[in-house]
A = this chain, B = another copy of it.
Amino acid sequence: MSWKDECGVFGVFQAPEAAQLCYLGLYALQHRGQESAGIVSFDREGQFYVVKETGLVSEIFNDNNLKYLAGESAIGHVRYSTSGGSTKFNIQPLYSKTSKGKIALAHNGNLTNAYYLYHQLKNEGAIFQSTSDSEIVLHLIARSRQEDVVEAVAESLRQIEGAYSMVILGEGYMLAARDPQGFRPLVLGLFEGAYVVASETCALDLIGADYVREIEAGEMVKIDASGIQSSRIFPNDLPQKKAYCVFEHIYFARPDSVVFGEHVHDVRKEFGRVLAREHPISADLVMAIPDSGNSAALGYAEESGIRFDFGMTRNHYVGRTFIQPSQNIRNFSVKVKLNPIKNVLKDRRVIVVDDSIVRGTTSRERVTAIRKAGAKEVHVRISCPPITDPCYFGIDTPQKDKLIGSSRNVEEIKNYIGADSLGFLSISGMLDAIKSIQPDHFCTGCFTGKYPIEVKDNGKFSIDQQDFNYYIA
């Protein structure tokens, strides 16, 4: 699986060592974005503090800058750029002084009417200093005629379309909001009396916070000295269909998280079980592409009765860059991260469970490596349907023509990756596996091209924004 991750957000209100808790939360959410990270804190004197940088959480934060981040409230963000280039100005949380006071904002998701709003705001005199669609939200809030900041934020959110799980830190309050379709997860926790919000429950687990509930789709929560208060972004909205991102369960979320109310590891095992029923085959063993295929592979093994084994080992010391040898070494790029365990595979008929196929190139290399290691048959099973269309809701996918599922059928993909057989989980099988949520409450746009909301200007904002970049040494 090679989709780039998206983003993760975290916030804590009025707890001792808020920035430190935020740092821990981001540490647990690092899998959601490895390009940059930031924390903004707020103290009782009304002062805000900002630390943002490119790099991993473990690289950016240190004793000095965590100490600098004074105050009892803080929000944080980890990022992989989905919209906008890799400019340093895009690193979140964004911070700004506005007519509604000082505001810091951390956003996971992607707006689908950003291009329209950007031009409208620019024509009205707004200046854009980043290439992030999140800056639009700040402008809308600043320009709102609503005096009350909650009203102003709600009014602003009613103008944007798309996916957002958002945390805002203002002067004496924290807001958490989630779009009406609920594309991205956002949960509420409680840490020694202080409210915490996070993209995933694994962040609550690390700091020892209790899971309270999800921030609901379409809900905005305000936390301040007087407690917590919930409201609807669209006050009169009727119960409507959700558009939860099923890919959170397929790949993004950590297996120990609870996402959309479901345990991720359990869902993935169930995907594996359904996959075993949909695409059974006679074989000697089931293996995973570690670690993202682990849960589904185990489910497949349990359902099929074929034993599970570790067919590949993972190098835990792979850095961000790798210097390629000029000479041609077979299956090199696969083996840097994952090496087949030969004696497990030799002369065996192997079922290989992976989470997804995007371009097909990585899968092909892995199948080749497994075969070279001695496997007699290689049967690939994918715990999601073929990906046919890009995502406009917060995942950095290749363009449609780069997606192997957009132009080839299963047989052709099988031939391309060199597998003896190939089986994808069906859409219905996938959706039925998540028992507590109705199938039509998921966004399956990347498998069907049918998006839950209209994508304006063909998602043009991010392309337009390439006209400016900021050098990152």
What is the CA–CA distance of A37 and B392 in the complex, to the nearest angstrom? 37
Interface residues on A, range: 35 or more
Interface string of A354-374 (1 = CB under 8 A from B): 000000000000000000000
A327 touches B96 (CB 8 A): no
CB distance from A437 to the nearest CB of B (A): 16
Can you name the residue of chain B whose Cβ is closest to the Cβ of A23? B323
Inter-chain contact B129/A343, CB cutoff 8 Å: no
| A residues at B contact (CB < 8 Å) | 16-17, 20-21, 23-24, 27-28, 30-31, 34, 46-53, 56-59, 61-66, 68-69, 87-88, 94-99, 102, 122-129, 138-139, 142-143, 202, 205-208, 254-256, 263, 265-266, 291, 294-295, 298, 302, 307-310, 312-323, 325-327, 329-332, 335-336, 339-344, 467-471, 473
Q: What residues of chain B lie closer than 8 Å to A321, measured between beta carbons?
A: 58
In the complex the two chains form, is B20's CB within 8 Å of A323's CB?
A: yes
Q: Which 4 A-B pairs have the closest CB atoms?
A: A58-B319, A125-B143, A30-B317, A263-B343
Cα-based distance from A308 to B294 in the complex (angstroms)? 12
Provide the residues of chain B in CB contact with A323, threshold 8 Å. 20, 23, 61-63, 66
Contact for A57 among B28, B66, B266, B317, CB less than 8 A:
B317
Query: A142 to chain B: which residues have CB within 8 Å?
Result: 122, 125-127
Contacts of A326 in B (CB 8 A): 17, 20
Contacts of A206 in B (CB 8 A): 329, 332, 335-336, 339
The distance from the CB of A79 to the nearest CB of chain B, in whole angstroms, is 14
Given contacts A52-B470, A255-B341, 14 further A-B contacts (CB under 8 A): A16-B327, A27-B336, A50-B471, A59-B319, A69-B471, A88-B88, A96-B127, A97-B128, A102-B468, A126-B142, A208-B330, A295-B310, A298-B310, A302-B307
